[in-house]
């Protein structure tokens, strides 16, 4: 884990550009999640898009990770290696990608339903909406002086009020010179605790939420993290910059 760093204006500009590209790449990849298509189809398109935009995938080779994207369906939460198993109508699919431009990392993830929102169960729709809301409410609090624990608290409160659980072991994190820097942003916690945010800090906020219990397991491929109880999970993630008087979402 890298140290907590404040980025210079030039570094922020690189992260802004890289983050914007990452946002566009994820948006396009999301449209490929259709019944019958496979995670590997998405991975191959990701390779083309990183090439097209002349940016470097942020996950490939990270701790030996073999792919560009993590693509996790249903009870698989995160860090899932893309397979050739076709998506089925109604699957909840998480696509998580990192991007490097000028040696600076950004990190973002989306959740999409194979076959479109209408194909999802009511629980799945609510799960995704609650996770996204938790992310957005946390982002709204980002400004100088806010404590990291304030973000953790609002994520937990939003998710649990909706009847879902946050995974304790998976966290948001500083990002920039490396994929994971300080501070760690827990998805549960108490208001007013932890360090205060400062202008120039950049971090990824990523609520990871399950419809059932919060407990997780790592599968036999040694990467994929799934729920223990088989309940479905969701993830939304953005890289955010703390500005002088608020914030900017770098991966919008």
Q: Give me the residues that bind Co ion (CB under 5 A), please.
A: 107, 204
Q: Which of residues 232-251 bind ligand MF3 (CB under 6 A)?
A: none
Q: Which of residues 47-76 bind ligand MF3 (CB under 6 A)?
A: 59, 62-63, 65, 70
User: Residue 150's beta-bridge partner residues?
Assistant: none
Task: Give least dist CB 81 to ligand MF3, A.
Answer: 9
Choose, by CB under 6 A, the member of 76, 79, 94, 247 that binds ligand MF3: 79
Q: How far is CA 170 from the centre of its chain?
A: 10
Mark residues 128-157: x for contact with ligand MF3 by CB under 6 A, - for none.
------------------------------
Total interface residues for ligand MF3 by CB under 6 A: 9
Task: Give least dist CB 166 to ligand MF3, A.
Answer: 15
Task: Give least dist CB 38 to ligand MF3, A.
Answer: 19
Binding flag, residue 222, ligand MF3 (CB under 6 A): no
Task: Give least dist CB 204 to ligand MF3, A.
Answer: 6
Site residues (CB under 6 A) for ligand MF3? 59, 62-63, 65, 70, 79, 96, 107, 173
């Amino acid at each position: 884990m890298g140290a907590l760093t404040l980025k210079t204006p030039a570094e922020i500009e690189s992260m802004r550009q890289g983050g914007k590209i990452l946002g566009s790449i994820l948006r396009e990849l999301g449209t490929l999640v259709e019944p019958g298509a496979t995670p590997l189809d998405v991975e191959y398109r990701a390779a083309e898009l990183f090439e097209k935009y002349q940016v470097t995938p942020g996950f490939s080779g990270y701790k030996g990770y073999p792919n560009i994207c993590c693509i996790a369906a249903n009870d698989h939460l995160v860090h899932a290696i893309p397979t050739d198993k076709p998506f089925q109508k109604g699957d909840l699919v998480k696509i998580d990608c990192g991007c490097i431009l000028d040696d600076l990392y950004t990190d973002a993830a989306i959740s999409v339903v194979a076959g479109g929102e209408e194909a999802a169960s009511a629980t799945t729709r609510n799960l995704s909406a609650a996770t996204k809301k938790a992310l957005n409410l946390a982002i709204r609090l980002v400004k100088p002086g806010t404590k990291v624990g304030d973000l953790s608290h609002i994520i937990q409160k939003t998710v649990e009020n909706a009847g879902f659980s946050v995974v304790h072991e998976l966290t948001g994190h500083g990002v920039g010179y490396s994929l994971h820097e300080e501070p760690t942003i827990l998805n549960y916690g108490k208001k007013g605790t932890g360090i205060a945010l400062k202008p120039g800090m950049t971090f990824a906020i990523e609520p990871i939420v399950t419809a059932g219990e919060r407990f997780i397991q790592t599968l036999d491929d040694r990467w994929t993290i799934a729920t223990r109880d088989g309940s479905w999970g969701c993830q939304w993630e953005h890289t955010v910059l703390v500005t002088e008087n608020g914030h900017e979402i770098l991966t919008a």
